[in-house]
Structure 1
Amino acid sequence: MRALAFLCLLFLCACASNQTPYVLSTRWKDAPQPAEMDYANPAAWAALPSRYDAADLVPRKSILQDGQADAKADVFFIHPTIFTYKPENEYIWNASMTDAALNTSVDSSTILNQATAFNAAGRIFAPRYRQAHYQAFVTEYKEDKDAALDVAYSDVKRAFDYYVTHENKGRPIIIASHSQGTVHATRLLKEYFDGKDLEKQLVAAYIIGIATPTNTFKNIPVCSSPTQTGCFVAYTTFLQGYLPPWHPGTATALASVNPLTWSTDENFASKEKNSGGVSYGFKYVKEFADAQNHLGILWTNTPYVPGRSFVKLKNWHKADINLFYHNIRENAVLRVNTFLSQK
């Protein structure tokens, strides 16, 4: 059992590590772009409440249940960058939405381990999109970054337009995202919610995995309590005591909401407050990790399973949601219930 737990931790570390992605040598303007898809086509979605897919699952070894059939709210989930490797076709800067291998990878990773955290709170709508290659985040050419992310966002925007027009019907909305997905979610919130009529339907936004300033929106504040609605949750996860190279080492104006207390204070929350995370094989692990806000980032100690002393990982970015999975799940339900009670 100890050996299995250690292997599970090693797998989670592999998922959370920043392995060196493939470096593109061609500029964005010189690369062909894949065709967009019609979001009336179910194939353009990684998850829809009208069919059985990875977003309907719950972790092994848990008693959690998918609640989408009776949900009174919707979740629009925007997945992170999975396109980090050497492209296998001519579409190198923005991925094709018909790339079967990439779609399978999206479904078995982020949809399974992240989107499902919200399937007790609302119906899951998760669009496929022409995601930008990881190169967009590290390139020296700003025009390449902007162009690749603009293509990706254009899909997210069209998917959201289709969802609002054909599926929403005035229901409360959660916006949820991670990493590249959060880049697009932030833009979507500014364009559709911040100071707009649709803001009245916003339960909360869980825009995780990107350093997000507290003043990102004019009318949408940082969530500072577990029942607050119309607000946003943001945090980025690093090892306790570690500051990433980009951090100034002093107080910042970055939003960091502790996913174990749902507070912005810097009080330490022990693993006993962690209802459960998910590890290798989508397995549920109780009291998985602790958490503490510090100078605009989230600190955590190495997950509490046997073999943890051998793990030296400092950046837990890709496990931002895995580590606090059940607490996020419970909180999303709580915010929906609070939102509905206020109507």
Structure 2
Amino acid sequence: MSLNLIARHAFLLACLVLAALLLVAAWVLRDQVYRTFQDPGVPFQTYTPPEGADYAEAAGWYVREAFANDDEPAVFFVHPTTYSGGGNWNGQLDKPSSVEAVTEIVLPNYAAPFGNAGALHAPRYRQASLYAFMNNREDSVRARLFAYEDVQRAFDAFTAQIGDSRPIILAGYGQGGLDVLGLLLDRFAGDADLQTRLVAAYVIESPVPLDLFAGPLNPIAPCITPEDVRCVYAFTSAMASEEDRIHIITERAMSWTPDGQLDFVDGRGLLCVNPLLSAVSNEYASARQHRGGVAAEGLDPDAVPAPIPAQTGAQCADGVLFFEQPRSRALHRPRRLVEDYRLPPFNLFYEDLRFDVARRSLNLATILQDERQWAPAFDAPEAIEDAPVIAIPDRRRY
């Protein structure tokens, strides 16, 4: 074999090895590469957000259902992140891929369990991009706060539309859970009337720090037992093998502080309600107690999908809900880029949540019925000044 041929073979082999190394590196660093392409590339301070929604109009809502009767609960549901990023810090309301993800995946899988207990209201909002949750830069935090302002405006329109006596169910997943927790702090904590009407607040897959309950959320306790109402029901879930996801949940995630800022949850303790037990407990719940998961992609939110029961056991530990790999492949997470930051296209605890919110709604309805029979509260006492006593003369002496 000639030296030239050997050299060509060596060069070809080197190119193949280099290509293989590049492919391996691209695979190993695929999440980092993906993040790079999702960066809007402009500071939030100089960023022009997309146009917002008018919540007085039907177009401002994905769903705004009519009420069947005067006592039917009103459900305020905030959807999770469906916009990945790239061009904007906050998603456009009419971006086709984001809208399709909400209507085809989120509403039938995640909103429907709560919609079965009341009239569903799900606002459109300029959600912070997935990229804004993959890092904790100041720009990313600003994008989250901007999205929350939309949710606040939507909730204020919601309360104006439903009247001042109807029971309320709050529910949110992921970014939506963070926003629901914000509403508890900004709208419910200082309003005794809203607290009275609250069935429960479901903050799912967004960490809820325990220090909030010793501060501004003191009037609204966690849902300790299955019978509690006017409480907070929350969990963030992972399998024991998902080390990166556990690290994100317990250390890298941010949530509200007692003074209304966003800060890391590390060291603050997290609320964990086990959905198989409907209670705050470190007890292990076996798969026999699992009421069922649902893969309802593409179904109408009003449809009643058939749950797949007995799929997973679950246990709360260190503020995280640890669950076992479901038996059905329909309930296995897909292998997408940055999957640790996403919600799967199914709801593993669909039937458990549907049953839970129905029970708590019935409990609050009974409590409200009893409370309405009580005598009205006395008005605030009035202060009366002491008056001098003037003796009446004894006229018998005259």
* Equivalent runs, 1:9-158 vs 2, <5 Å: 20=34, 22-50=38-66, 69=68, 72-87=72-87, 92-142=88-138, 144-158=139-153
For residue 183 of structure 1, what is the aligned residue in structure 2? Answer: 178
State the Cα deviation string for residues 183-223 of structure 1 (Å, max 9, x = none).
Answer: 11111111111131311111100001112112322221111
- Alignment CA distance shift 1:312-1:82 (3 Å): closer
Number of aligned residue pairs: give it: 303
Root-mean-square deviation over aligned CA pairs: 2.9
Distance 1:137 1:268, change over 3 A: same
Q: Quick one: distance in 2 between partners of 1:191 and 1:219?
A: 13
Q: Which runs of 4+ in 1 moved over 6 A?
A: 307-314
User: Partner residue of 2:233?
Assistant: 233
Q: 1:289 aligns with which of 289, 304, 312?
A: 312
**Matched residue type, 1:286:** P
Give the structure-1-normalised TM-score: 0.80
Query: Contact 1:215–1:221 (CA<8 Å) still a contact in 2?
Result: no
**Structure 2, gaps ≥5 residues long:** 1-30, 252-265, 300-304, 369-398
What SS does the aligned partner of 2:221 have?
coil
Displacement of 1:274:
1.3
State the match for 2:328 in structure 1: 305
Provide closer, same or farther for how the CA distance between residues 333 and 96 of structure 1 changes in structure 2, counting only shifts above 3 A: same
Among 351, 356, 371, the alignment partner of 1:326 is 351
Task: Look up the SS of the partner of 1:322 in the other structure.
Answer: coil
Contact 1:222 1:231 in 2 (8 A): yes
- Give 1:289 shift: 2.2
Output the amino acid matched with 2:348: L
C-alpha separation between the residues in 2 aligned to 1:265 and 1:242?
22
The normalised TM-score by structure 2 is 0.69
**Identity fraction in percent:** 29
Do the aligned residues in 2 keep the contact of 1:206 with 1:233 (CA within 8 Å)? yes
Matched letter for residue 99 of structure 1: K
Deviation at 1:86, TM superposition (A): 3.3
1:204-258: per-residue Cα shift (whole Å, max 9, x none)? 000011121123222211111111011101111111365522547x996210000
SS of residue in 1 equivalent to 2:172: strand
Following superposition, the deviation at residue 149 of structure 1 comes to 1.8
Quick check: which has more Rg, 1 or 2? 2
Residues 261 and 269, structure 1, Cα contact 8 Å, conserved in 2: yes
How far 1:311 sits from its partner (Å)?
A: 8.9
Matched-pair contact (CA < 8 Å) for 2:170–2:201:
yes
Residue pair 1:175, 1:206 contacting (<8 A) in 2 also? yes
Are the aligned partners of 1:289 and 1:324 in contact in 2 as well (CA < 8 Å)? no
Task: Name the residue aligned to 1:245.
Answer: 247
The 1-side partners of 2:275 and 2:293 are apart by: 12
- 2:62 aligns to what SS in structure 1? strand
On the 8 A contact 1:209/1:320 being kept in 2, the answer is: no
Q: Given that residues 85 and 91 in structure 2 are in contact (C-alpha distance below 8 angstroms), is that contact kept between their aligned partners in structure 1?
A: no
Paired amino acid for 2:321: L
Structure having greater relative contact order (Cα 8 Å, sep ≥ 6): 1
